[in-house]
Amino acid sequence: MMTVYFVVMTMCSGMEGCVEERRPGDAYASREECMTTVSAITRRKGVKYKCKSEPQWVLKEDRRVDGIKSFVTSGAK
| DSSP character string of 14-43 | TTTEEEEEEPSS--BSSHHHHHHHHHHSPP
pLDDT, tens digit, for every residue of 19-36? 888 887 788 989 999 999
pLDDT for residue 39: 92
For residues 32 and 11, give the distance between their C-alpha atoms in angstroms, rounded to a whole number: 23
Q: How confident is the model at residue 12 (pLDDT cuts 50, 70, 90)?
A: confident
pLDDT for residue 18: 86
Strand, coil or helix: 6: strand
Q: How confident is the model at residue 76 (pLDDT cuts 50, 70, 90)?
A: low
pTM: 0.60
Please give the biggest Cα pair distance in the chain: 57
